[in-house]
A = this chain, B = another copy of it.
Amino acid sequence: MEAVMNNVTIEKAKTSKIKDVDFDNLSFGSIYTDHMLVCDYKNGQWQAPKVVPYQPITLDPSSKIFHYGQSIFEGMKAYKDESGSVWLFRPLENFKRLNKSAKRMAMPELPESYFMDGLTTLLQVDSDWIPQSAGSSLYIRPFMFASGNGFHASPADEYKFIIALAPSGSYFSGKVKVLIEKQYSRAANGGVGFAKTGGNYAGQFYPTRLAAEKGYQQVIWTDDNNHEYIEEAGAMNVFVRINDMLLTAPTNDRILDGITRKSILDIAKDEGIKTEIRKVSVKEVVEAAKNGSLKEMFGAGTAAVVSPISAFGYEGVDYDLPELEDSYASLLKKRITDIQYNRAEDKFGWRHEVV
């Protein structure tokens, strides 16, 4: 059965898996909906995107994705409000970042209409899968990878762009304890840290596992020169509150330019919270922890939303953060999720209705 919507061809799945899903007990990103969007790049151009049944991908063993790491992705969410309307949060920012990542990884940039029309069509087809229970949402995973063949270390001539959907619960359970890293690094100056590319994540797994063995859920990465400055965490940007000032590192070619991060900065300003975008040294954070001026730390990201940090480890010492009544983290989390779920006015124009 084929249909066309927004110029996107739709091939419907014969049966739905939705009745097997326990929407009250969702983990993060481990169940996928009935359909996916597929768009192939060959002969120098993108073919029209299609919604097809969620299905396996078949590749030659020489496909460059297996050898040379040309892969990029995005992470987004779809939110369903009380009336059943479906919303995206700043989707064009994800689209633009995808293409920035594509360029750095020598992959072809995608046309905006393929991304937006493909995504909204897919969401309409699988809209029953968008959870409405608190804390749950539909995680959206657009990704692109090298499907062309060959052992020569050079860019592939074919690529696949896919969007898959996963109804998901929260990324972290509870508060997060982090380790400020002194030995390993996430990104090089002049490297690919700002791109959302597979290799940036694979490189973090081993140090993160070492940290997990000591009881930390995430690593806070520092610059690779001297490990002096705080950069970001595994899957989120990091904010530090010293007294009443909210600090976060400037983005650069080592740090992912998080959409949650910049939204939080705008909301904080709107709330009259003093913010500063500047290098944050590990030394000043440790000193602030010691003298009591360190009030909060939290991570910000699409998957993690706003995740309060309960403690950080550094050079073998753990520093606990205080429990605050009126934390910036809870205020900012409420404001951003109220916009995302269409529970509050959208003065920034960030919401995008899926119709």
What residues make up the interface of A, taking CB atoms closer than 8 Å to B? 27-30, 32, 36, 54-63, 65-71, 73, 75, 103-106, 139, 141, 143, 145-146, 149-155, 162, 164, 166, 168, 171, 181, 183-192, 197-206, 208-209, 224-225, 227, 234-235
Q: Is the CB of B197 within 8 A of A186?
A: no
A270–B205 Cα distance when bound, in Å, is 42
Q: Is the CB of A150 within 8 A of B205?
A: no
The residue of chain B having its C-beta at the shortest distance from the C-beta of A168 within the complex is: B151
The residue of chain B having its C-beta at the shortest distance from the C-beta of A144 within the complex is: B66
Q: Is the CB of A54 within 8 A of B61?
A: yes
A69–B151 Cα distance when bound, in Å, is 17
A227: chain B residues at CB < 8 Å are: 190
Q: Quick one: copies of this chain in the complex?
A: 2
Shortest beta-carbon distance from A110 to chain B in Å: 16
Cross-chain contact of A59 among B28, B56, B198 (Cβ < 8 A): B56
Cross-chain contact of A69 among B60, B200, B225 (Cβ < 8 A): B200
A63: chain B residues at CB < 8 Å are: 57
Q: Is the CB of A58 within 8 A of B58?
A: yes
Q: Is the CB of A71 within 8 A of B151?
A: no
Q: Is the CB of A141 within 8 A of B151?
A: yes
Q: Among A54, A151, A235, which residue has the most Cβ atoms of chain B within 10 A?
A: A151
A208–B62 Cα distance when bound, in Å, is 21
A62: chain B residues at CB < 8 Å are: 29-30, 32, 141, 164, 166
Q: Is the CB of A199 within 8 A of B203?
A: yes
Q: Is the CB of B65 within 8 A of A65?
A: yes
The residue of chain B having its C-beta at the shortest distance from the C-beta of A171 within the complex is: B152
Q: Is the CB of A209 within 8 A of B67?
A: no
Q: Is the CB of A105 within 8 A of B152?
A: no
A189–B104 Cα distance when bound, in Å, is 20
Q: Is the CB of A36 within 8 A of B56?
A: no
Q: Is the CB of A61 within 8 A of B56?
A: yes
Q: Is the CB of A104 within 8 A of B206?
A: yes
A151: chain B residues at CB < 8 Å are: 28-30, 75, 139, 141, 164, 166, 168
Q: Is the CB of B155 within 8 A of A205?
A: yes
Q: Among A32, A67, A73, A166, which residue has the most Cβ atoms of chain B within 10 A?
A: A67
Q: Is the CB of A68 within 8 A of B202?
A: yes
Q: 4 closest Cβ contacts across the A-B interface? A: A199-B199, A69-B198, A29-B151, A106-B205
User: Contacts A69-B197, A185-B191 given: A235-B153 contact, CB under 8 Å?
Assistant: yes
Q: Is the CB of B54 within 8 A of A57?
A: no
Q: Is the CB of B68 within 8 A of A198?
A: yes
The residue of chain B having its C-beta at the shortest distance from the C-beta of A207 within the complex is: B190
- 19 A-B pairs within 8 Å (CB atoms) are namely A32-B62, A36-B61, A57-B58, A58-B58, A67-B143, A69-B197, A105-B203, A106-B202, A151-B168, A184-B191, A185-B188, A185-B189, A186-B191, A190-B227, A192-B199, A197-B202, A198-B198, A199-B202, A224-B224
A184–B27 Cα distance when bound, in Å, is 39
A187–B190 Cα distance when bound, in Å, is 9
A225: chain B residues at CB < 8 Å are: 189, 225
Shortest beta-carbon distance from A57 to chain B in Å: 5
